[in-house]
Amino acid sequence: GENVEQHPSTLSVQEGDSAVIKCTYSDSASNYFPWYKQELGKRPQLIIDIRSNVGEKKDQRIAVTLNKTAKHFSLHITETQPEDSAVYFCAASRNTGRRALTFGSGTRLQVQP
Amino acid sequence: DVKVTQSSRYLVKRTGEKVFLECVQDMDHENMFWYRQDPGLGLRLIYFSYDVKMKEKGDIPEGYSVSREKKERFSLILESASTNQTSMYLCASSSGTVREKLFFGSGTQLSVL
């Protein structure tokens, strides 16, 4: 089955700096890669996703890049703000076979004001 | 707004007890999922269901069973609770394909003593 590895497990940045979280996956048939954000004490929520027919997707200060050859994808947050502090999870899935996401182990991002 | 409701926020049980975790969604979603969240391990899939009375094992189904008698309700059952099942349990639902957004419940923190 799919295995998703996520790094780093914790990340501390100064407000205004950029943050990058990286994930690798094992199943070459995976073609959908979402990112979820979980603020302290709250439920995870989808913030951005990318599908295998594109290499990059942006939404304001967040972007995701995908390298299918290397089987890795990354989340980029620019101009970080204290409200970006949260745990971020990457995930992967394929269209066929098991119809459920496999999540990474999570990255705790702390933005220092 | 989609609502995924988990019956208990906190639950304390004794080793060997049978435990029921209930999840209800109000958006007529076909798919429902149970994840377990542990620090450093991310979200691990226990079971999921894509139709009434249908269920599929996730990555860590041992010690758990599920029931989906109605479309809106998905129950997780711990037949004989053990201390290593102490965890945060998150229910989620989605419509359509695996590429659709997951809507999570607020979670049940289960402590098995």
Question: Which residues of chain B, if any, have pLDDT below 50?
Answer: none
End-to-end CA distance of chain B: 36
Å from B77 to nearest chain A CA?
20
Burial of B70 (0-12, 13-18, 19+ CB in 10 A): exposed
> How far apart are the CA of A90 and the nearest CA of chain B, in angstroms?
9
Token digits of residue A2: 């799919």
Interface residues of A toward B, Cβ cutoff 8 Å, are: 1, 6, 9, 32, 34, 36, 42-46, 49, 51, 89, 93-95, 98-106
Among A65, A63, A61, A62, residue whose Cα is nearest residue A52: A65
> Per-residue pLDDT for chain A (113 aa), expressed as one digit of tens each?
889 999 999 999 999 999 999 999 999 989 999 999 999 999 999 999 998 777 999 999 999 999 999 999 999 999 999 999 999 999 999 877 677 899 999 999 999 99
pLDDT of amino acid A1:
81
Contact B98 A44 (CB under 8 A): no
